[in-house]
């Protein structure tokens, strides 16, 4: 078998559309997961006592089962309980709920890493619980959780490939279609691997830039 470069270049327009779906699904899903994970972490730390075991069970369930199984249950099993979603909304919801469980643990670890004395200082100044979280805990833990957060973003980017199983027209789905139609499995899979590698490297580079900015900010305000 030979690598057909002409076939790869002819995929351009379709791949651009598919890449747009992949990136938009990833960014929207990751942002929603980030926000929901933060809410879960705060609720577990400061919410009513009955919430903690419920949210802990949610986190353990999401982390203990494969994302593909969760996606199948949501998309194919949802209609049995009155939840009928199109592929893209189902993929976004599944990705968000799955990622939020991991982000909540990242935020929880960050909260616990903030020195107790800093929190007590905020309480002595009369800051509310919300002000302590926003003004003291969140800035201090950002540097600590940033590497883990970027790593989770990369994991979620690669998990978008799973959305092809529920026919979301993203990169994996579209390239698999092209490869099957042209019997060009080597070219299509090679191209898919290169695209994901490039996206992961870009995300990783942006993460390093963010870390350097936060580190400089922290040192200049130390």
DSSP state letter for 49: T
Q: Is 5-220 assigned to CATH 1.10.3720.10? A: yes
The region, left, alpha or beta by phi > 0 then psi within -120 to 50, assigned to residue 183 is left
- Across residues 63-90, what is the average pLDDT? 93
The 3-state DSSP class for residue 166 equals: helix
Q: What is the C-alpha to C-alpha distance for residues 183 and 165, in angstroms, rounded to an integer?
A: 20
Q: What is the C-alpha to C-alpha distance for residues 155 and 174, in angstroms, rounded to an integer?
A: 20
The two tokens of residue 127 are 């800051």
Q: What residues contact 22, with CB distance under 8 A and at least 6 apart?
A: 160, 170, 171, 199
Q: What is the C-alpha to C-alpha distance for residues 212 and 48, in angstroms, rounded to an integer?
A: 37
> How many helices (H) and strands (E) in the chain?
10, 0
Q: What is the C-alpha to C-alpha distance for residues 181 and 177, in angstroms, rounded to an integer?
A: 6
Q: Are 108 and 44 contacting, i.e. CB atoms less than 8 angstroms apart? A: yes
- pLDDT band for position 61 (cuts 50, 70, 90): very high
Q: Is the pLDDT of residue 74 over 80?
A: yes
Q: What percent of the chain has pLDDT over 90?
A: 53
pLDDT tens digit sequence for 153-177 = 999 999 999 999 999 999 999 888 8
Q: pTM for the complete prediction?
A: 0.86
pLDDT tens digit sequence for 92-132 = 999 999 999 999 999 998 888 887 887 888 888 888 878 88
- pLDDT band for position 219 (cuts 50, 70, 90): very low
pLDDT at 4: 64
The two tokens of residue 206 are 């942006």
Q: Are 172 and 8 contacting, i.e. CB atoms less than 8 angstroms apart? A: no
Angle at 105 between CA 208 and CA 84, to 5 degrees: 100
């Amino acid at each position: 078998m030979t690598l057909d470069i002409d076939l790869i270049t002819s995929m351009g327009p379709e791949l651009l559309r598919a890449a747009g779906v992949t990136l938009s699904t990833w960014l929207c899903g990751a942002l929603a997961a980030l926000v929901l994970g933060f809410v879960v972490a705060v609720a577990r730390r400061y919410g009513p006592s009955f919430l903690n075991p419920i949210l802990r069970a949610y986190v353990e369930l999401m982390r203990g089962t494969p994302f593909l199984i969760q996606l199948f249950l949501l998309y194919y099993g949802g209609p049995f309980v009155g939840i009928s979603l199109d592929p893209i909304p189902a993929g976004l919801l599944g990705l968000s709920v799955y990622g939020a469980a991991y982000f909540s643990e990242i935020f929880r670890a960050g909260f616990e890493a903030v020195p107790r004395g800093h929190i007590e200082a905020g309480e002595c100044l009369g800051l509310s619980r919300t002000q302590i979280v926003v003004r003291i805990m969140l800035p201090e833990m950002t540097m600590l959780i940033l590497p883990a957060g970027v790593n989770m973003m990369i994991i979620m980017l690669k998990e978008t490939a799973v959305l092809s199983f529920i026919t979301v027209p993203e990169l994996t789905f579209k390239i698999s279609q092209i490869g099957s139609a042209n019997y060009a499995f080597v070219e299509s899979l090679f191209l898919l691997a290169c695209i994901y590698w490039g996206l992961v490297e870009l995300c990783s580079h942006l993460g390093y830039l963010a870390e350097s900015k936060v580190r400089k900010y922290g040192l200049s305000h130390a």
